[in-house]
Amino acid sequence: MADYIESISEAVLKYDVELVKKLVPEAVESGVDPILIMNEGLSNAIIEIGDKFGREEIFLVELMIAAEACMGGVDIVKKIILEKKVDAVKPKGVIVIGTVEGDIHNIGKDIVKTLLEAAGFEVHDIGVDQRAQNFVKKAIEVNAKIVASSALLTTTSPNQKAIEVELKEAGIRDKVKTIIGGAATNADWSREIGSDYYASTATDGVKIIKKYFEDVGK
Amino acid sequence: MKAKLEVLSKDELDTIYQTALKILEKIGVSIEDEEIIKLLEKNGCKAGSNKIVYFPEKVIDRCLKSTPNRKGETTLCGRDPLKDVVMGDDQKYPYVISHVLMNYFEGLTDTYRTITKEDIRKFVTISDYLDTIDGIWMCTLMPDFKEMYTYCEYELAVRSTTKPVCVSSFEPSAIPPVYDLAAALAGGEEELKKRPLTVAFCEISPLTWNKYGCAMLKATARWGIQPVITVETPMGDTGPATFAGNIAQKIAELLSGLVIVQLLKEGLPVFFVVPLEVFDMRTAQICLASRGDYVWACAVGQLEDYLGIPIISPISPDSKLLDMQEAYELSFSLIPRILGGNKATVIHGLDQTHAINNELLLLMDEMMISVRRMLEGIDVNEETLAFNVLEEVAGKIENDRRSGHFLNQRHTLNWYVREHRPRRDAVIDKYRREKWIENGSKSFVERAHEKILEILKNHKPEPLSKEIESTINAIHKKYNIPDL
């Protein structure tokens, strides 16, 4: 059993997407607990990869492919859990993410999304060029705890303020935390509009969100 | 231009171009505008599902033929026609355009702050003064200007220079007042048709004209503005990590824009702005000044010659300070571009296209004088071979020793300045150490700052006429724009 967990971790750490897809069903067939595969095989590996990227030991492309390998395994485990009616794994947290209205930049947002999903969070990506109301609507719909918005242009960053306003008007501002990022933003802007967190890079954003849910869970 | 760096063979250029055509025909371009899709279909393109349009070679060929500046001259018009930038095979030197950005970096104190209107006035005034800067590009996106930033930037710039001013814009709604001012500066709408306004906007890679880009395409056609199609395909991000594939994708994206422009308004001149960005996998940042850019810099001149349309290729150091990294990135970005025959470049300041600095303009000025000289190469003729003068100098004998030198030779007087382009007011330090200490032990930035103060004190850009001022007042009233 331990061998399978280790092999799955190793496959993620070696960026071997296909091997992860092969090993996960094999492990389940051999009687390994799917929850254990998720938490110890896949999740630990992606945390290790994330730390390596944080220490600048690996490049982003390696991080992203490892995340893809991990997500491939997670999808299989989820399917098996549904089929076998095993108690579902509770996501570590629910996040709504998107790029604000007028802005079509998606890369930073997509990195945050991929890494959060690979780390076991439930991420609802509403896409690019999204009105403030759409962030709020989705947050209410999925009971999100964090609303993350990206703005790459100084002309579109005011739409992050609009999200703050809309959350207040919808009466859920005290129920969610907001985090902003993107080239047009900085800590001053975050303070000015009243967002809870500012991330200067995609990976910082992931760290902040992870820490928030860890602290809340304590 | 004598010196010429070539890194691609004719066959390699053909192969890259053919791949670009294949991309347009087989992969197609996503176009988020029904009207433009219909126009493309009507003209021989095929529209598939998901708003993807496929471009056959014959449509591209036809549109290239109707692009009037192709294999001819492309002009960026200034307030003063004598200051026009005329890109073409006969230009004497590569043009340099300074770029105004959203932040200002104070070189003496290493302070970083949001740009102000006064910063813009000063930066443009210095650019107007320097002979090696041929035009100004505006893209500050200043939130203070609200929804009329394109107009506000344009007005601020044309007030401080008679050189060409180009603007990047994401707001079609701001084009009418810019058009009104440009028409007034040109001497009327008919004159503006001959001396058009130049506006840049972006296609989105990979292979997408989104609704904002489509709106700008239509606005330029509607107003007869010379469009500058910008494509950005960061290597490893929204474009392949390999040079050949990345360049093929760039060409495909550029040609898709050119086709739409020609179909919207046949005969409109068009040219390109193409940075080479590398997605830095260590820091997850899009970087313009990278080893990848230096390779692209070698090739861009060849590519624009191949296409017959100028490709302005931006330079943008990633350094956050006026330090060794800044100088390294600026030099390595600039020199291969110029040696490779790139017709014009836009130089951003520092911090990954986010900040400008006045002192840096003087470093660019110094570098441009050097690279222009490099391009001229070495003249070999009887006069420059200097045999006769050497014979004369070597012939002077005192006490059985050769005692001649070249310092007192007319040949030196005639040729020193022509060959070396020295400057009496050089900011670059060439003194002995003792003299440098005596002069205050100043750094380049300190010396450049003093020179900047002198320029700003003495150089007064040509003011706008009373007629233009009253047009500006009318524009402000009509479009509800506060005085700048």
In order of their start, the domains of chain B are 65-376 (3.20.20.480), 382-420 (no CATH)
Across the interface, whether the CB atoms of A153 and B141 are under 8 A apart is answered yes
The yes-or-no verdict on residue B240 having pLDDT over 60 is yes
Alpha-carbon distance B484 to B482, whole Å?
A: 6
Q: Which residue of A has its CA nearest to B149?
A: A155
Contact partners, residue B398, CB within 8 Å, separation at least 6: none
The yes-or-no verdict on residue A87 having pLDDT over 70 is no
pLDDT band, residue A202 (cuts 50/70/90): confident
Alpha-carbon distance B256 to B15, whole Å?
A: 18
Residues of A in contact with B143 (CB under 8 A): 154-155, 157-158
Query: Per-residue pLDDT tens for B72-100?
Result: 999 999 999 999 999 998 898 999 999 99
Query: Per-residue pLDDT tens for B310-330?
Result: 999 999 999 999 999 999 999
Residues of B in contact with A56 (CB under 8 A): 282-283
The yes-or-no verdict on residue A218 having pLDDT over 70 is no
Global confidence as pTM: 0.88
Query: Per-residue pLDDT tens for A58-76?
Result: 988 898 899 889 989 988 9
Q: Which residue of A has its CA nearest to B102?
A: A154
The yes-or-no verdict on residue A86 having pLDDT over 70 is no
Smallest Cβ–Cβ distance between A154 and the set B143, B204, B285 belongs to: B143
Smallest Cβ–Cβ distance between B204 and the set A104, A108, A201 belongs to: A104
Q: Looking up tokens 């999925």, which residue turns up?
A: A142
Q: How high is the pLDDT of residue A131?
A: 96
User: What are residue B137's phi and psi, to 5 degrees?
Assistant: -115, 135
The token duo for A60 is: 């982003």
Looking at chain B, the whole-number percentage of residues with pLDDT higher than 90 is: 87
Neighbours of A102 (CB within 10 A): 19
Average pLDDT over residues B21-34: 98
Give me the sign of the Cα torsion angle B15, B16, B17, B19: positive
Cβ(B95)–Cβ(B345) under 8 Å?
yes
Residue A31, beta-bridge partner list: none
pLDDT band, residue B360 (cuts 50/70/90): very high
B244: distance to nearest CA of chain A, Å?
20
Query: Per-residue pLDDT tens for A172-184?
Result: 999 999 999 988 8
Return mean pLDDT, chain B: 94
Residues of A in contact with B238 (CB under 8 A): 107
Q: For B353-383, give the DSSP string.
A: TTEE-HHHHHHHHHHHHHHHHHHH----SHH
Residue A149, beta-bridge partner list: A98, A180
Alpha-carbon distance A103 to B134, whole Å?
A: 32
Least confident among A63-77, B30-44, B206-220, B437-451: A63-77
Q: How high is the pLDDT of residue B117?
A: 94
Alpha-carbon distance B458 to B449, whole Å?
A: 14
Q: Can you tell me whether residue A186 is helix, strand or coil? A: coil
The shares of helix, strand and coil residues in chain A, as percent rounded to the nearest 5, are: 60, 10, 30
The yes-or-no verdict on residue B342 having pLDDT over 90 is yes
ipTM of the complex: 0.73
Interface check A25 vs B, CB under 8 A: no
Give the start-end residues of each E strand in B42-109: 46-47, 52-54, 74-76, 85-87, 95-100, 103-106
For residue B4, what are the CA distances in angstroms to B11, B73, B340, B342, B415? 18, 20, 5, 10, 24
Amino acid at B281: M
Interface check A123 vs B, CB under 8 A: no
pLDDT band, residue A51 (cuts 50/70/90): confident
The dihedral formed by the CA atoms of B130, B304, B206 and A69, expressed in degrees to the nearest 10: -90
Query: Per-residue pLDDT tens for B420-432?
Result: 999 888 899 999 9
Closest among B339, B301, B340, B335 to B315, alpha carbons compared: B335
The yes-or-no verdict on residue B272 having pLDDT over 90 is yes
Least confident among A185-194, B53-62, B143-152, B180-189: B143-152
The yes-or-no verdict on residue B364 having pLDDT over 90 is yes
3-state SS of B261-322 is: HHHHCCCCCCEEECCCCEEECCCCEEECCCHHHHHHHHHHHHHHHHHCCCEECCECCCCCCC
Question: Domains, chain A, ranges and CATH?
Answer: 2-84 (1.10.1240.10), 94-217 (3.40.50.280)
pLDDT band, residue A119 (cuts 50/70/90): confident
Helix (H) or strand (E) holding A147: strand A146-150
Across the interface, whether the CB atoms of A154 and B142 are under 8 A apart is answered yes
Q: For A58-95, give the DSSP string.
A: S-HHHHHHHHHHHHHHHHHHHHHHHHHTPPPPPPS-EE
Q: Can you tell me whether residue A114 is helix, strand or coil? A: helix
For Cα atoms B27, B30, B34, give the angle at the middle one, nearest 5 degrees. Answer: 135
Average pLDDT over residues B3-18: 92
Burial class (CB in 10 A: 0-12, 13-18, 19+), A31: exposed
The yes-or-no verdict on residue B278 having pLDDT over 60 is yes
The yes-or-no verdict on residue B395 having pLDDT over 70 is yes
The token duo for A178 is: 């907001």
Smallest Cβ–Cβ distance between B102 and the set A60, A108, A154 belongs to: A154
For Cα atoms A205, A24, A217, give the angle at the middle one, nearest 5 degrees. Answer: 35
The yes-or-no verdict on residue B366 having pLDDT over 60 is yes
Q: How high is the pLDDT of residue A74?
A: 87
Closest among B374, B373, B379, B304 to B345, alpha carbons compared: B304
pLDDT band, residue A90 (cuts 50/70/90): confident
For Cα atoms B327, B328, B329, give the angle at the middle one, nearest 5 degrees. Answer: 95
The yes-or-no verdict on residue A88 having pLDDT over 70 is no
Return mean pLDDT, chain A: 89
User: Helices then strands (H, E): number in chain A?
Assistant: 10, 5
Cβ(B20)–Cβ(B251) under 8 Å?
yes
Q: Which residue of A has its CA nearest to B148?
A: A155
